[in-house]
Amino acid sequence: MVKILVVDDEYSIRKSIDMFMSEKGHDVYTASTIEAALNRFNELCPEVVILDIRLPDGSGLDALSQMHRIYPLTKIIMITAFQDMETTIEAMKKGAYDYIHKPLDADELEKTVNDAIASFYEDTKTAGKSESRISYSENEIVGKSRAMKEIYKLIGMLCQNRATTLITGETGTGKELVARRIHLSGPYCHQPFVTFDCSAVVDTLLESELFGHEKGAFTGAVSSRPGKIELAGDGTLFLDEVEALPLNLQGKLLGFLERKQYMRVGGKNSLKSRCRIIAATNKDLAKMVREKTFRDDLYYRLKVVTMTIPSLRQRSSDIDDLAAHFTQKTANELGIKQMTLQDGCLERLKRHPWTGNVRELENIIVSASIRSRGSVIFLDAIEDLLSHHPVSIEEHSSSQSLSQMESVHIFKTLESVRWNKTRAAKILEISLPTLRKKIQKYQLAPPE
């Protein structure tokens, strides 16, 4: 049972809301003017206010601001008969919990009030507590799982040298972040870290973007321009989606890796570079070598050291820390209050297949944080976002390899039978030994 203050100049509306909410077990109080409403508000400190925009002695928006100053935790639902875009925007900017239009729909009103009550009680749990913010660093890698601890060990070893490194892993696992940490942890951390997305540039410009060009080298080359290798200096050049390089450019990249020399497009003199190359791919390069779409000599040159970043499905125990990290990151970058997750949210997040991995989780947390009108992200909001989120096996099968799809399907099947391998093998229509091999192949494991 909560206290609800209804403020409207129409008696029929005040009476109908009073009767409707009283039947739901709430204590309902009414007022017809801003002055009367503020007096009642000071007396009652209600959990919820239903406030009309246009009142005889002024604007409900002014009352909204005053009520927020008096008791910020109260959830104020604005109502109006006028569908005015500017007023709606202004109300939400001033902290209205929601904004609904007349004639009022009973189901919509009840749901909005119930959500507001839930938000009020969640906010009171954290009210008065000092915010224990998790330290946030832009280039921080988050996770304490066994799989991530192995990644940290590799980063520690690789940052001490300049060995060419190949980072593999599904889309969204954080390959660029790992590359950046290798760079920042080493002695050349003050040198540039340059990213080059091999799939984002048309083939005709790839060589120029990578190696640079001289003035007049081609139509439009009105001046000399350094390439990514030159811009990297003594630092690191990160080649993302390296599998997208055409074969002729693969040969030139190989030549650079072997001699640390290159030539600008249209140039006559060889240039030297000491930059370190870290390449990344979400494809099976060994398979591409067999299919003659990727040079075998470049493949072996790139994979001097290979790191495989685990999928989020393989380290679901890290979701707690990742969610906390992303709520802090969202608060810092968007200038909003840091959100907390309602009980049950983390368990729901851990049941999601995460075909988009850590990037998908971050998108969910950012969306939920922006949409939340209190300081708490509700389970319903997470459910809604997960059910409508575009990253799924069905919709993104074209961007996933067959092995990635199989890994996700096996993991979801195991989760559905609580990791009973015998039952899972029957559902998948494969033998138990085959299932065990695939679990080992894809490094699948139940949540820790």
* 3-state secondary structure labels for all residues of 143-196: CCCHHHHHHHHHHHHHCCCCCCEEEECCCCCCHHHHHHHHHHCCCCCCCCEEEE
Tokens found for residue 429: 């229509």
Judge if 188 and 285 occupy the same domain. yes
Please report how the helices 357-371 and 379-388 are oriented relative to each other, as an axis angle in degrees rounded to 10. 130
Give CA–CA dist 334/332, Å, rounded. Answer: 6
Give CA–CA dist 348/303, Å, rounded. Answer: 37
Q: What is the average pLDDT across 261-289?
A: 93
| pLDDT class of 245 with cuts at 50, 70, 90 | very high
Judge if 180 and 223 occupy the same domain. yes
Residue 438 and residue 410 in contact, taking contact as beta carbons nearer than 8 Å: yes
Give the domain CATH number at 46.
3.40.50.2300
Residue 388 lies in a domain: yes
Look over the chain and give the mean of its residue pLDDT values, rounded to a whole number.
Answer: 88
Half-sphere exposure of 35 (CA within 13 A, CB side): 2
Residue 136 lies in a domain: no
Residue 43 has pLDDT above 90, yes or no: yes
Please report how the helices 34-44 and 60-70 are oriented relative to each other, as an axis angle in degrees rounded to 10. 20
Residue 153 lies in a domain: yes
Query: Which of 288, 308, 328 finishes a domain?
Result: 308
Tokens found for residue 55: 């009142």
Give CA–CA dist 32/77, Å, rounded. Answer: 16
Tokens found for residue 84: 């005015």
Give the domain CATH number at 220.
3.40.50.300
Residues with Cβ < 8 Å from 389, sequence gap 6 or more?
360, 363, 364
Quick one: which of 361, 376, 348, 443 has its CA closest to 127?
Answer: 376
Beta strand pairing call for 236-240 and 27-31: unpaired
Residue 31 lies in a domain: yes
Give the domain CATH number at 356.
1.10.8.60
Q: What is the pLDDT of residues 325-381, one digit of tens each?
A: 999 999 888 888 888 898 899 999 998 989 899 999 999 999 999 888 778 899 989
Q: What is the pLDDT of residues 122-179, one digit of tens each?
A: 888 766 554 444 455 678 899 999 899 999 999 999 999 999 999 999 999 999 999 9
Residue 247 lies in a domain: yes
Tokens found for residue 368: 């939920």
Give me the number of domains the chain comprises: 3
Query: Which of 283, 308, 333 finishes a domain?
Result: 308
Judge if 408 and 384 occupy the same domain. yes
Tokens found for residue 16: 């109908």
Residue 388 has pLDDT above 90, yes or no: no
Q: pTM for the complete prediction?
A: 0.74
Quick one: which of 46, 55, 47 has its CA closest to 14?
Answer: 55
Judge if 339 and 429 occupy the same domain. yes
Q: What is the SS3 string spanning 385-439?
A: HHHHCCCCCCCCHHHCCHHHHHHHHHHHHHHHCCCCHHHHHHHHCCCHHHHHHHH
Range of the structural domain that residue 83 is part of: 3-126
- The three-class DSSP label of residue 283 is coil
Q: What is the pLDDT of residue 389?
A: 61
Query: Which of 254, 278, 308 finishes a domain?
Result: 308
Residue 393 has pLDDT above 60, yes or no: no
Judge if 159 and 294 occupy the same domain. yes
- Preceding omega of 187 cis (within 30 degrees of 0): no
Give CA–CA dist 12/17, Å, rounded. Answer: 9
Residue 74 lies in a domain: yes
Give CA–CA dist 437/391, Å, rounded. Answer: 27
Q: At residue 271, what are phi and psi to the nearest 5 degrees?
A: -115, 150
Residue indicated by tokens 């902290």:
95
Judge if 285 and 321 occupy the same domain. no
Judge if 11 and 115 occupy the same domain. yes
Judge if 301 and 326 occupy the same domain. no
Residue 260 and residue 274 in contact, taking contact as beta carbons nearer than 8 Å: yes
DSSP H or E stretch at residue 128: none
Q: Give the helix ranges, DSSP H, for 185-318.
A: 203-211, 228-232, 247-259, 285-290, 296-302
Residue 109 has pLDDT above 60, yes or no: yes
Judge if 282 and 161 occupy the same domain. yes
Tokens found for residue 146: 């066994």
Judge if 102 and 247 occupy the same domain. no
Residues belonging to the chain: 448
Judge if 150 and 90 occupy the same domain. no
- The three-class DSSP label of residue 242 is helix
Give CA–CA dist 197/225, Å, rounded. Answer: 18
Where is average pLDDT lowest: 19-28, 94-103, 186-195? 94-103
Q: What is the pLDDT of residue 253?
A: 95
Judge if 68 and 167 occupy the same domain. no
Residue 175 lies in a domain: yes
Residue 132 lies in a domain: no
